[in-house]
Structure 1
């Protein structure tokens, strides 16, 4: 995972409401979601670093292609 993606995940985590401002059941849910997000991010970084450089480049290229295609579809839908 790139440092930008890791920073983005960290910003998302730090932007979540403090738990003491939430009702107890929402606080538990929020804590659980934060734990899962942190665990998923950690695992993703571990997997990313195990991939070869060529595979990383391929995955980034595919991701950019799909993002570009999605954006063009959104623009086409909005311009109707």
Structure 2
């Protein structure tokens, strides 16, 4: 998943997208959690799904996603 994000960025940014990456500072401890399988990277939040879509995001993945959403909202607010 991380390479998909990285490879897509140049096209999106050329078309004017504003990219607000997750980064590692606010969620470092969550991203390096090794006691459970989880999605997410410094590029963006994410989840790992079962082939049939039955696996829901874990609390850890939701916490990472909330952090990215809050960062995005702060960046958007500065543009208004």
* Normalised TM-score (structure 2): 0.34
Look at both structures and tell me which one has the larger radius of gyration over its CA atoms. 1
* Normalised TM-score (structure 1): 0.34
Structure with the higher fraction of residues in helix conformation: 1
